[in-house]
Amino acid sequence: MTDTMEAFFTAVWSSMAQLQPLGSIALAATESSLVTSVLATLACALLTVFLSTVFWRWHFENSRDSFSSLPLPPGSFGWPLIGETLHYVLRGMTEYTNKRRKYGTIYKTHLLGSPTVRVESDDRVAFLSSKEPHILSSSSGLPKSARSIFGARSVIVVSGDEHAALKKDLSQAFIPVRLRDYLPIVQDCVRRHVTSWAQGVDENKMLGFKACQRLVCDLILETVVGCTRDQDPDGKVREALVTCNDNLFCVPFAIPGLAFHKALKARKIVEDFAKRRLAAAASSEKDAVSVLDVLVAHLRKDEESSSGENAARNDIQQSKTSAGQFETELVDNAVSFFIAGADTVTSALCSILKLLGKHPEKLAALRRELEFQELLDSDQGNNLSFELLQSLSYVRAINKEVLRLLPPVGGLFRFTKSMIELEDYQIPAHWRVVYGVRGIHEENRAFTNKDEFLPERWLDPGFEEKLNAKFPCSYAPFGIGARTCLGKELALLQMSVFVVEVARLVDWTLLNPDARRVFLPVEKPFDNLPVTFRKRK
């Protein structure tokens, strides 16, 4: 039995041994064909990428309008479909600086799905903005994701006469008499947050941007819809606001898991909340305090007296007569205020912390101004009046200088309706144009020592008039022309209150003052500004 088995195994072994060379040959053949097919696939893929890149670039280079002999601006269109969007997201500041160094203050690129020309000189932007809204549209320049999040009836999205009439109505919520009403709410909210940053005996370490973001979410809900924390007890609305802001510029595919889907879900939470607050405001007889209360009261009055007004205005009023549309308009605009006023102000407050933290001599100069006005005592309560804030020239100079050096919104989106000739170049129809606010500020010919934080430059009484007269588009943190920021005065009020309160309530130390900057959706340090706070002695 043993012999038989031994013979069997020997036979198997020897036959396997005979088969082994054959197997190696077969294996080698299989391996080489695998390698060949991998190489062939790779070659095909590379060829496809190469050809589609060549076609992509050729296609846009050939979209030149033949009615003009001018060339397209210099620059490149990047990769098929994604263009150069990823370059900007990943390289941030370096990409902008490199482009400006390489091509100057006008160059072409491909961003967020459209061929784009970025313009970073104030005189070219002045020329382009004079072509709005007929040759250059401002609303359709916004990426689709942002338009969907703001809503179809938002002042940011509508255009032409409709935009002008709606903006006039909404601006009633930001006139000085209203700002006076909001001031105690703003100051109370700022003091509450800043005091909490320095609670306890030890230093409190936190992320400055995130702390400012929490403050501004409360601020915006309290001023825009009169919402106190108990009306959003679990913080869902605040969280939804942050999600909307974080995903304002994204690929507009509403697929679960993707940014746009998350943003639309978050928008619905904010929208439902605004609707509930609107119903409360509409049935309330109390004096207007929040932006929404003011708008409801103003539009109600406006509707009553609209019968004698001119035809264009009547058309707009008539279009509002359906209750549903009226509600949509108010809700879309309340949501837009939430979003337009949240991360922008957060960025500005975070930059105040950063620049005053990096320049203790400017903080000392600020405290001297507050001391002179008897405002430095941190135990003083709600003693800021609107007139007093307006009179604090160093506080206002700090705001302007912070917005010059670190503008929260780095670019304004426009869209060409027809071809535009701009000095030596042409911009074809249906291209996106971005006015590069940050680049304009960085290149500005109107400022000396332009890289330095020098609030003092704004104290010269004739300086701003000269600036506006000689270089009208050279300082544009709040935008340009018909689209300038509707919430500008409210934002400046919030910044002024913040400057006063941080200076008198706390001392702080930046843990990484020279961190890399990122720009989307707004200007901020990439590490969110780690900082320690302590109560001011």
Binding site per annotation, positions for heme: 485
> CB neighbours of 432 closer than 8 A, spacing ≥ 6?
111, 112, 114, 115, 116, 117, 141, 413, 414, 415, 416
Task: Please say which residue, 198 or 295, places its beta carbon nearer to ligand HEM.
Answer: 295
Q: Which of 336, 351, 426, 474 binds ligand HEM (CB under 6 A)?
A: 336
Q: How far is the CB of 258 from ligand HEM (least distance, A)?
A: 25
Residue from 78, 208, 428, 477 touching ligand HEM (CB under 6 A): that is 477
- DSSP one-letter code for 41: H
Q: Is 475 in the site for ligand HEM (CB under 6 A)?
A: no
Buried b / exposed e across 508-528, counting CB within 10 Å, b at 16+?
bebeeeebebbbbbbbbbeeb
Instruction: State which of residues 227, 242, 486, 499 lies at the interface with ligand HEM (CB under 6 A).
Output: 486
For the four alpha carbons of 181, 184, 190 and 192, in that order, the dihedral sign comes to: negative
| Contact status: 78 vs ligand HEM (CB under 6 A) | no
Out of 221, 345, 398, 406, the only residue in the binding site for ligand HEM (CB under 6 A) is 345
Q: Judged by CB under 6 A, which of 96, 107, 337, 425 binds ligand HEM?
A: 337
Q: Which residues sit in the known binding site?
A: 485
Per the CB < 8 A criterion, the answer to whether 180 and 362 are in contact is no
Which CB sits closer to ligand HEM, 121 or 139? 139
Q: Which stretch binds ligand HEM (CB under 6 A): 14-22, 187-195, 456-464, 475-483?
A: 475-483
Whole-angstrom distance between the N-terminal and C-terminal Cα of the chain? 100
Residues 157-196 as x/- pattern, contact with ligand HEM by CB under 6 A: ----------x-----------------------------
Tokens linked to 195:
């005091």
Least separation in angstroms between CB 348 and ligand HEM: 4
Among 331, 343, 332, 327, CA closest to 220: 343
> Per CB under 6 A, does 150 bind ligand HEM?
no
225 binds ligand HEM (CB under 6 A): no
CB of 6 or CB of 161, closer to ligand HEM: 161
Q: Write the CA distances from 290 to 13, 216, 436, 475, 521, integer angstroms.
A: 91, 15, 33, 30, 26
CB 444 within 8 A of CB 474: yes
Tokens of 159: 């255009």
Among residues 85, 105, 137, 138, which is the contact residue for ligand HEM, using CB under 6 A?
138
What are the φ/ψ torsions at residue 383 (nearest 5 degrees)?
-115, 15
Of 156 and 198, which has the nearer Cβ to ligand HEM? Answer: 156
Q: Residue 249: what are its φ and ψ, rounded to 5°? A: -110, 100
State which of residues 75, 341, 439, 525 lies at the interface with ligand HEM (CB under 6 A). 341
Given the complex with ligand HEM, which of 84 and 343 has the nearer CB atom? 343
> Shortest approach of ligand HEM to residue 490 CB, angstroms?
5
Kindly write down the DSSP assignment for every residue of 344-380, as one continuous string. Answer: HHHHHHHHHHHHHHH-HHHHHHHHHHHHHTT---TT-
Closest separation in Å from C-beta 341 to ligand HEM: 3
- Cβ–Cβ under 8 Å, residues 490 and 341: yes
One-letter amino acid at 277 equals: R
Q: Is 483 in the site for ligand HEM (CB under 6 A)?
A: yes
Residue nearest to ligand HEM (CB): 487
Which residues sit at the interface with ligand HEM, rule CB under 6 A?
A: 138, 155-156, 167, 336-337, 340-341, 344-345, 348, 408-409, 412-413, 477-479, 483, 485-487, 490-491
